[in-house]
Amino acid sequence: MAGRVVRRRWLRHPAQTIVVGFAAAILVGTALLMLPVASTGAGGTDFVTALFTSTSAVCVTGLVVVDTGTYWSAFGEVVILALIQLGGLGIMTFASVVGLLISRRMGLRTRLSAAAETKAVGLADIRKVVTGVVKVSLLVEAAVALVLGLRFWLAYDESPGRAAYLGVFHSISAFNNAGFALWADSLIGYVTDPWVCVPIALAVIFGGLGFPVWFELRREIRRPKVWSMHTKMTISVTVGLLVLGTVFMTASEWSNPDTLGAFSAPQRVFVGFFHAVMPRTAGFNSLDVGAMNDSTLLGTVVLMFIGGGSAGTAGGIKVTTFILLFFVIYAEVRGESRVNAFDRQVDDRVIRQALTVALLSVGAVVGSTLLLMSLTGLPLGPVLFEATSAFATVGLSTGITYDLPTSADLVLVGLMFLGRLGPITLVSALALRERRRHYELPEGRPIIG
């Protein structure tokens, strides 16, 4: 009886359940990848390599310590693909269901207001949420796989079977923002091919928006004025970051002979757009990231840290957190007592959650960067890039991942797990553990600045 009570207490919170579930998936994936049949070489894979790859797949990151297309066998690639799909669907489903659980803990008036604002489904429709996530995911993946498969078959002389496999693998990897590719140089061989890069970029964007946004756009796509605050924030910031990111990437690398300098002007803009999409936590690259200018790498770090939309396959602190903090600063600069955004007043609890997620994320990236520098002896630039890429579950790399010591690999494993589950677990824990204090302390005003 006592053991049963302890078990119930341990798994009574949704955040605990998802952490245990993802850890179990990573361990199962590690065991499968350690099997001799999973790799092309003699014998099985060592534990750290299998653990790193399994964590990167389940957390839909894309960082690798071995070349995916040559090191792993067909069985190993299928395991990685299954882990990517499991991780992507798991995050989207969990985040969507947690939204319903949070609304359940609200008071009646607050719940009615939230339902009117978000147009969310009722608590009895959790099955509808889950099946909706699965249906939309499979539909998008199938469409992108079809386009990619036909392109690889008709334009690159791949056999129909191989072309279909390449289409399915990279479609699932793109939609789930994983960034795993079956070529050692990722998509550099297809840098100016719109029939490869555009479907992958669109899948990345769509996967990064999040199911609540899809659900609302499906019903109200022609009436943006009635969109919820969440959808307005996600769409507007996503479009803004894509435009600004494209301009920045293209301008920063315009004359770099090792990246965009070798292409025509239209091609430079096209490739710049592709590389503005990828820091949204996809991880594919059609240029040599290690050859980019320092300013480009710093801008990419910022984009990676922001990430994509909530309840989607993207990582980072999320675009809603980023824009909400902007409105907090804007209100403070104007001397306003309340934070308003998109014709709505922002709840103080949401502001505290955004600040908590952002500051803890900064602490995680800075702390891990210092630790990695001490373990590897590498300079700040590439280490900061690698740490941010792991925490934001992006998968882009300047090329140092293959040569890191085992201790650094384990740090990145922890970062990927923390970055994938940390923000959503923290927010759900804060929201579901809300409690009122029965007394108020005297007000204090420390000097700021």
pLDDT of 203-228, one tens digit each?
Answer: 999 998 887 888 888 888 888 888 88
Please report whether residue 410 resides in a domain: yes
Mark out the alpha helices in 315-405 (DSSP H runs): 319-333, 348-376, 380-391
Range 262-270 contact pairs with CB under 8 angstroms and sequence separation of 24 or more: 263/191, 263/192, 267/192, 270/192, 270/194, 270/197
For 288-339, the pLDDT digits (tens) are 999 999 999 999 999 999 999 887 788 899 999 999 999 999 999 999 889 9
Long-range contacts of 112-118 (CB under 8 A, 24+ apart): 117/228, 117/229, 117/344, 118/212, 118/216, 118/228, 118/230
The whole-angstrom distance between residue 218's C-alpha and the CA centroid of its chain comes to 22
For 344, list phi and psi in degrees, rounded to 5: -135, 150
pLDDT in tens, 83-107: 999 888 876 666 555 555 554 444 4
Axis-axis angle for helices 74-105, 406-432 (nearest 10): 30
Does residue 116 lie within any of the structural domains? yes
Give 371's strand partners: none
Beta bridge partners of 340: 345
Q: Is residue 5 part of a domain?
A: no
Spatial distance between the Cα atoms of 22 and 246, rounded to a whole number of angstroms: 34
What is the chain's alpha carbon radius of gyration, rounded to the nearest angstrom? 22
In a domain, 283, yes or no: yes
363 pLDDT band, cuts 50/70/90, is: very high
Is residue 445 domain-resident? no
User: Mean pLDDT, the chain, as a whole number?
Assistant: 86
What is the per-residue pLDDT across 231-277, written as a single tens digit (0 to 9) for each? 999 999 999 999 999 999 999 999 999 999 989 999 999 999 999 99
In 221-346, which ranges are continuous DSSP H helix? 229-253, 265-277, 294-306, 319-333
What is the domain count for the chain?
Answer: 1
Q: What is the mean pLDDT of residues 379-400?
A: 95
The domain containing residue 392 runs over which residues? 11-432
232: in domain: yes
pLDDT at position 173 is 96
**Separation CA 145–CA 122 (nearest Å):** 33
Q: Is residue 446 part of a domain?
A: no
Residue at 443 is within a domain: no
Band of pLDDT at residue 420, cut at 50, 70 and 90:
confident
